Amino acid sequence: MLLRSLLPVCMRGVRSAGTPRVMHQLASTTKPALDISGIYPPISTPFDEREQVDYDKLEENLQKYSSIPFRGIVVQGSNGEYAYMSREERLEIVHRVRQKLPKEKILIAGSGCESTQATIEMSRQMGEAGAEAVLVVTPCYYRGRMTSSALVHHYTKVADSSPVPVILYSVPGNTGLDLPVDAVVALAKHPNIIGIKDSGGDITRMGLIIHKTQHLDFQVLSGSASFLLAGYAVGAVGGVCALANVLGAQVCELERLCVSGQWQEARKLQLRLIEPNAAVTRSFGIPGMKQAMEWFGYHGGNCRSPLVPLTEQEQKELRGFFTNNGWL
Amino acid sequence: MLLRSLLPVCMRGVRSAGTPRVMHQLASTTKPALDISGIYPPISTPFDEREQVDYDKLEENLQKYSSIPFRGIVVQGSNGEYAYMSREERLEIVHRVRQKLPKEKILIAGSGCESTQATIEMSRQMGEAGAEAVLVVTPCYYRGRMTSSALVHHYTKVADSSPVPVILYSVPGNTGLDLPVDAVVALAKHPNIIGIKDSGGDITRMGLIIHKTQHLDFQVLSGSASFLLAGYAVGAVGGVCALANVLGAQVCELERLCVSGQWQEARKLQLRLIEPNAAVTRSFGIPGMKQAMEWFGYHGGNCRSPLVPLTEQEQKELRGFFTNNGWL
Amino acid sequence: MLLRSLLPVCMRGVRSAGTPRVMHQLASTTKPALDISGIYPPISTPFDEREQVDYDKLEENLQKYSSIPFRGIVVQGSNGEYAYMSREERLEIVHRVRQKLPKEKILIAGSGCESTQATIEMSRQMGEAGAEAVLVVTPCYYRGRMTSSALVHHYTKVADSSPVPVILYSVPGNTGLDLPVDAVVALAKHPNIIGIKDSGGDITRMGLIIHKTQHLDFQVLSGSASFLLAGYAVGAVGGVCALANVLGAQVCELERLCVSGQWQEARKLQLRLIEPNAAVTRSFGIPGMKQAMEWFGYHGGNCRSPLVPLTEQEQKELRGFFTNNGWL
Amino acid sequence: MLLRSLLPVCMRGVRSAGTPRVMHQLASTTKPALDISGIYPPISTPFDEREQVDYDKLEENLQKYSSIPFRGIVVQGSNGEYAYMSREERLEIVHRVRQKLPKEKILIAGSGCESTQATIEMSRQMGEAGAEAVLVVTPCYYRGRMTSSALVHHYTKVADSSPVPVILYSVPGNTGLDLPVDAVVALAKHPNIIGIKDSGGDITRMGLIIHKTQHLDFQVLSGSASFLLAGYAVGAVGGVCALANVLGAQVCELERLCVSGQWQEARKLQLRLIEPNAAVTRSFGIPGMKQAMEWFGYHGGNCRSPLVPLTEQEQKELRGFFTNNGWL
């Protein structure tokens, strides 16, 4: 197993004083103690006119995010356009973000590749670049053969050698593939697999995963702000939400209301976030998210091609979803 | 609406003694006042060996259900095998059930047919047979042309002439069709359309419907026990749950915990209901539900062909989902 | 088995003199001898302003079709809006059509219902009303339980008691369900199941069915004009084509070219039929087909609600698909 | 175009001795003259026990293929496990294969990446490594935004700068995305886009593409042996068939029968190829193809993880599909 879980807790990003959500590590358990509960923006990558990474703008966004009570950030998630980046770029961004990010914030880095070997290598390098955990998307190109057993084998190999804890990542909207519940349950027993980001939005499935892993300290994160309240209601511990790039404080407020049991207030807020969230995910995707970021004082920047910017009509519709819910 | 159940009955609509069937408020609003919040089993139809309706067994089931705090029952929902019944049978069952059902319980009858005209006629007859409301499934055979506007037109015609309030019914697992959100929102304004049973399980969609109809007294019912808690969390007022045919008291207990704000306890119960519920819906369907009913003292009876009974292996698996969650 | 196959050939609608396509019945085979090769329009049902069947217009259409070398016609297929008709209407139409149809033409009647019992009854009545064969769509409402074995059981029961040969009907665009290949192969052995209308358009599947039933005198009909040539190329013997309601002579000409091996000419014609066919099926459905019928001198008439007529814009697009391919 | 193969070589484009790589005709048309009609195996990549490319075995396979009348080969198609390879490996393999491949055979290299820029770069390098054409798969990770216009933009940019002709590649089984017909038609006008490999198997779609590009010298290749005959019937000019890795001579024989108009014989052969083909594609994927290669004297070798080898049971089933059709 990894060396990491042998390190003192203080070096592993576990929440320090002031937070009630430290997962209590007992001597006997081998499960890494990294508590990932909380809200994370899966940060976008601003590109300049030549589609090159604009590190200055990226850092300015980080600066602005620093006042929001995020638990950490996700770098190189789907919203970071990782699929359009070279290995070198992915690592460089993680390296730079870790340097700028306050120490108490967790950096989760996307390290998934199609092949097991590449994912192992990338996870190792992400750990070296400063990530506290890696988020590993399901390989999907040969989805007809990505059976439960193939996926269990893949993730086991990756987790066996990763220097940092592994978070499973199921995002059927992009991959056309749901990580099967039985695979999740099997993998939850691995000492270096600490949770899952589930972006599918099937609350029954999320509840089932939570139910079947409840004795395993396995942490479920909602993969979108649209079902964040429902996720908390069934036992999720946080969320990685594209919308947090735009309305970060509001998403964190929703977290606070859920965690403190103010469900009535939480519901009111949740309902106002669904349309803006759908707009920056399903409807208009990353170009929509980047456009909305500009309206809220962040640098969205260009996308890499083949992603194309919104048309004027699309921008208008997008804006409507924010204004109609009182956010603009 | 979470506080709703704490209000005096007189403020909650029409639950006054003797009849739940008051149709119209006296004040300026034209929206019918039938409060449908609560839990309903969509009762199954026991058939004998010759696949004929066994009315005696049906009535014995009703007798057993009478001790459970259901708000009412749904007759001729999908779980009643309505698709396999003649018009005469559908009406006869509603008629008989209404006679046996305590007056204070609401009877919701499925009246959906493929054509608008047949649905209008069936809704009228269901009202005459004693239904307090009709549940109208989306027509679906020509789904390529079942556009939002075609469906709005269909439901408007039906609601215009129905003698009892109309509840929309979206069940994509059977129909291959989701009633579009924009159609739901448009229809929610109709004075004789009082709610929707949404069985798709997309909690984001349910939240959005609730958000966009919140000033309309439009009532959303979760269409399955698997997401009942999540439904309440986002503002649903009840559920029509196949599992309530089997574990009726438990589903009502889940309702009570949600409505009274005991979310932690609610979650524990919800999680134990997901597998049994999936087993009697998605996995093993009506034959599974009927088999499980037998184990819990109800009459499941035969299904009509082409539904076939469970194999021994399937029975064993089905039983496992109940025993593993502590229900058997 | 049925009595029917014991009847003299002359009573079973086998092609009389003048047609080269009689399937040779040997004494030893039990397979019914009805040769269904050829082209069939699945006729539409003209409705008047009150959505009542307009029998006069229906008969005028039949009169016009009489000059086209159709092998027969299909009554109460999907395009006949059978899903919107009462049992009485379905039978009445078949009865009337059989009276008007020349004796040498085959009448195939849709008799599928959701329940096995209703389908058995309807098949019997369709035979009595004059149908030479029945076309039995897959039951689909409880599609999650419509397993291969359930469907084999259903069709076997229906075929066992049908007085006329049974043609399987797989139309996933409407039912959301493909009749599985293994079920088709199993059913092809039944002496009273003589073929399948496959509307899915998966030419690989059609080839596989033909391959695996090639020793069984099982006849495959393409369910749409869009893949009629490809169907013939892999061994289909005809087609039931919505487009034949509009461009009947052209579809029959395509048949002639394929059957006589003039593949080059066949291809030219086939390619010009794809867009018009897609327009009257997938894109604009029955309302599109009925509109196009009017342009070509037939009575399309109204649809039953919830089908709505085309908008002006849709009509314009529809017309474009005919004009751009040189048909208008 | 069926007569095409009967024409003198000089009238068919550029198949003159020594090089198939003439890029531009001298006459007025700007469309590149590379004639790609014929059969191509999308060759697999044998890996050793450590999952490293086994170049010796790859070259032995090429040696064995040299006696089969392939038009050329495809390197780094989906079946080559390109998704699991580094850029360097992809280029190295193309380089080596080009050296071993007879000059008159066309080498088509997969060069698709998710980002436009990476695809441009890879296409350039593939041309330098010796490819006569590049096969460019649709980017798909952000499929919700891969609109027709985004894809047209992507392919236009790639084709503008590619030193060799571009072949579009639509493979929804892997990508979850069909390149829309309108995008194909728009792109067919680009002087450096010469055709499409369509692996979806929708023969209506293929016919429509052929119909709408018939004045553009745009060449359609069937992407699988299961619908090769149907493809030729509607005007395709060849095929890239996984099965050709295993039964190369038989696939070429099917080509010969189709091109020479022997449709009856072609059909008999086609039908016997469907099950083996389905087995090495949809059912058992690349591990199935590699296993079958071993049975027929080729080196299949290992797959890269997360692809896992077939279980014994799967091997047995796979073998059955070959023996039942008389190939083993």
Contact D241, D228 (CB under 8 A): yes
Q: Is the pLDDT of residue A4 over 60?
A: no
CB of D50 less than 8 A from some CB of A: no
- Measured between CA atoms, the residue of chain C closest to residue D267 is C234
Joined tokens for residue C256: 């002639």
Q: How many other CB atoms are found less than 10 A from the CB of residue A177?
A: 20
Joined tokens for residue D162: 């590619």
* Helical axes A248-259 vs A263-278, angle rounded to 10°: 150
Chain-chain contact of A84 with D173 (C-beta, under 8 angstroms): no
Chain-chain contact of D305 with A143 (C-beta, under 8 angstroms): no
Instruction: Answer with the residue of higher pLDDT: C59 or B21.
Output: C59
Chain-chain contact of C153 with B308 (C-beta, under 8 angstroms): yes
With contacts defined as CB-CB under 8 Å, which chain C residues touch B110? none
pLDDT for res A33:
78
DSSP B86-151: -HHHHHHHHHHHHHHS-TTSEEEEE---SSHHHHHHHHHHHHHHT-SEEEEEPP-TTGGG--HHHH
Report the alpha-carbon distance of residue D23 to residue D4 in Å, rounded: 20
Closest Cα of chain A to B30: distance in Å? 26
Q: Give the one of A115, A145, A308 whose C-beta lies nearest to D149's C-beta.
A: A308
Contact C101, C62 (CB under 8 A): yes
Report the alpha-carbon distance of residue C182 to residue C168 in Å, rounded: 13
pLDDT for res A297:
98
Report the alpha-carbon distance of residue D113 to residue C316 in Å, rounded: 40
Contact C134, B296 (CB under 8 A): no
Chain-chain contact of D234 with C235 (C-beta, under 8 angstroms): no
Chain-chain contact of A83 with D114 (C-beta, under 8 angstroms): yes
- Measured between CA atoms, the residue of chain D closest to residue A284 is D145
- Average of pLDDT values for C122-141? 98
Proportion of chain D above pLDDT 90, given as a percent:
90
pLDDT for res C9:
33
Q: Kindly report, residue by residue over C49-64, the tens digit of the pLDDT.
A: 999 999 999 999 999 9
Cα-based angle D248, D251, D252 (whole degrees, multiple of 5): 85
* Helical axes D116-128 vs D148-161, angle rounded to 10°: 30
> How many residue pairs from chains A and D have C-beta atoms closer than 8 A?
105
Mean pLDDT for chain B?
Answer: 92
Joined tokens for residue D84: 């699991």
Q: Is the pLDDT of residue B21 over 50?
A: no
Q: Kindly report, residue by residue over D53-98, the tens digit of the pLDDT.
A: 999 999 999 999 999 999 999 999 999 999 999 999 999 999 999 9
Instruction: Answer with the residue of higher pLDDT: C327 or C3.
Output: C327
Contact D298, D246 (CB under 8 A): yes
pLDDT for res C28:
40
Report the alpha-carbon distance of residue C315 to residue D327 in Å, rounded: 52
- Average of pLDDT values for B115-134? 98
CB of D203 less than 8 A from some CB of C: yes
Least confident of A10-24, A266-280, C198-212, D200-214: A10-24
Confidence label for B33 from pLDDT (cuts 50, 70 and 90): confident
Q: Give the one of C84, C115, C145 whose C-beta lies nearest to B285's C-beta.
A: C145
Residue in A31, A105, A197, A290 annotated catalytic: A197
DSSP C28-91: T--S------EEE-B----B-TTS-B-HHHHHHHHHHHTTS--SEEEESSGGGTGGGS-HHHHH
Q: Is the pLDDT of residue C20 over 50?
A: no
Backbone phi and psi for residue D199, each to the nearest 5 degrees, phi listed first: -105, 5
Backbone phi and psi for residue D321, each to the nearest 5 degrees, phi listed first: -65, -25
Token pair 């390197």 is found at D75
Instruction: Answer with the residue of higher pLDDT: A241 or C14.
Output: A241
pLDDT for res A169:
98
* Helical axes C203-212 vs D263-278, angle rounded to 10°: 100
Distances (CA, A) of A170 to B72, B200, C111: 39, 20, 45
Cα-based angle C267, C270, C274 (whole degrees, multiple of 5): 140
With contacts defined as CB-CB under 8 Å, which chain B residues touch A207? 226-227, 229-230, 270-271, 274
Confidence label for A280 from pLDDT (cuts 50, 70 and 90): very high
Backbone phi and psi for residue D107, each to the nearest 5 degrees, phi listed first: -105, 115
pLDDT for res B137:
98
Smallest CA-to-CA distance from A242 within A286, A185, A299 is with A286
Q: Is the pLDDT of residue A183 over 50?
A: yes
Confidence label for D31 from pLDDT (cuts 50, 70 and 90): low
With contacts defined as CB-CB under 8 Å, which chain C residues touch B52? none
Amino acid at A311: T
- Average of pLDDT values for B153-177? 97
According to DSSP, residue B302 is labeled B
Q: Kindly report, residue by residue over B192-218, the tens digit of the pLDDT.
A: 999 999 999 999 999 999 999 999 999
pTM, entire model: 0.92
Confidence label for C274 from pLDDT (cuts 50, 70 and 90): very high
CB of A235 less than 8 A from some CB of B: yes
DSSP A134-198: EEEEPP-TTGGG--HHHHHHHHHHHHHH-SS-EEEEE-HHHHS-PPPHHHHHHHTTSTTEEEEEE
pLDDT for res A31:
53
Segment holding A106, helix H or strand E: strand A106-110
Q: Give the one of B208, B270, B272 whose C-beta lies nearest to A274's C-beta.
A: B208
Q: Kindly report, residue by residue over A71-80, the tens digit of the pLDDT.
A: 999 999 999 9
DSSP B215-258: TTT-EEEESSGGGHHHHHHHT--EEE-GGGGTSHHHHHHHHHHH
With contacts defined as CB-CB under 8 Å, which chain C residues touch B282? 144
pLDDT for res B31:
53
Contact B41, B244 (CB under 8 A): yes
Q: Give the one of D142, D176, D307 whose C-beta lies nearest to A176's C-beta.
A: D176
- Average of pLDDT values for D35-52? 97
With contacts defined as CB-CB under 8 Å, which chain A residues touch D144? 173, 282, 285
pLDDT for res A30:
52
- Measured between CA atoms, the residue of chain D closest to residue A154 is D306
Report the alpha-carbon distance of residue C202 to residue C89 in Å, rounded: 33
Contact D240, D74 (CB under 8 A): yes
Report the alpha-carbon distance of residue B287 to residue C142 in Å, rounded: 11
Q: Kindly report, residue by residue over C93-106, the tens digit of the pLDDT.
A: 999 999 999 999 99
- Average of pLDDT values for C156-172? 98
Contact D77, D42 (CB under 8 A): yes
Q: Which of D284, D305, D310, D313 to mutate to test the interface with A (most CBs of A within 10 A)?
A: D305
Q: Which of B234, B260, B275 to mutate to test the interface with A (most CBs of A within 10 A)?
A: B234
Order of strands across the sheet that contains A133-137 = A38-40, A238-240, A219-222, A193-198, A166-170, A133-137, A106-110, A72-75
With contacts defined as CB-CB under 8 Å, which chain D residues touch C202? 201-202
- Average of pLDDT values for C172-193? 97
Q: Is the pLDDT of residue B290 over 80?
A: yes
Q: Is the pLDDT of residue D123 over 70?
A: yes
Q: Give the one of C84, C142, C149 whose C-beta lies nearest to B286's C-beta.
A: C142
CB of A324 less than 8 A from some CB of B: no
Least confident of A6-20, B63-77, C116-130, C248-262: A6-20
Q: Is the pLDDT of residue B273 over 90?
A: yes
The partner residues of C222 in beta bridges, in order of sequence, read: C198, C239
With contacts defined as CB-CB under 8 Å, which chain C residues touch B151? 306
Q: Which chains does chain D touch, 3 or more C-beta pairs < 8 A?
A: A, C
With contacts defined as CB-CB under 8 Å, which chain D residues touch C226? 204, 207
With contacts defined as CB-CB under 8 Å, which chain B residues touch C84? 114-115, 117-118
Joined tokens for residue B47: 């058939």
> How many residue pairs from chains B and C have C-beta atoms closer than 8 A?
105
Chain-chain contact of D271 with C204 (C-beta, under 8 angstroms): no
Q: Kindly report, residue by residue over A37-55, the tens digit of the pLDDT.
A: 999 999 999 999 999 999 9
Instruction: Please state the length of chain B.
Output: 328
Distances (CA, A) of D42 to D73, D170, D270, D327: 6, 14, 19, 20
Chain-chain contact of A83 with D144 (C-beta, under 8 angstroms): no
- Measured between CA atoms, the residue of chain B closest to residue C141 is B174
Mean pLDDT for chain A?
Answer: 92
Q: Is the pLDDT of residue A22 over 50?
A: no
pLDDT for res A214:
95
Query: What part of C 77-136 touches D (C-beta under 8 Å)?
Result: none
Q: Is the pLDDT of residue B123 over 80?
A: yes
Confidence label for C33 from pLDDT (cuts 50, 70 and 90): confident
- Measured between CA atoms, the residue of chain C closest to residue B154 is C306
- Average of pLDDT values for C223-230? 98
Amino acid at B142: Y
CB of C311 less than 8 A from some CB of B: no
Confidence label for D33 from pLDDT (cuts 50, 70 and 90): confident
Contact A202, B265 (CB under 8 A): no
> How many residue pairs from chains A and B have C-beta atoms closer than 8 A?
87
pLDDT for res A188:
98
Contact B100, B64 (CB under 8 A): no
**Positions of B marked active-site:** 197
Q: Is the pLDDT of residue D11 over 60?
A: no
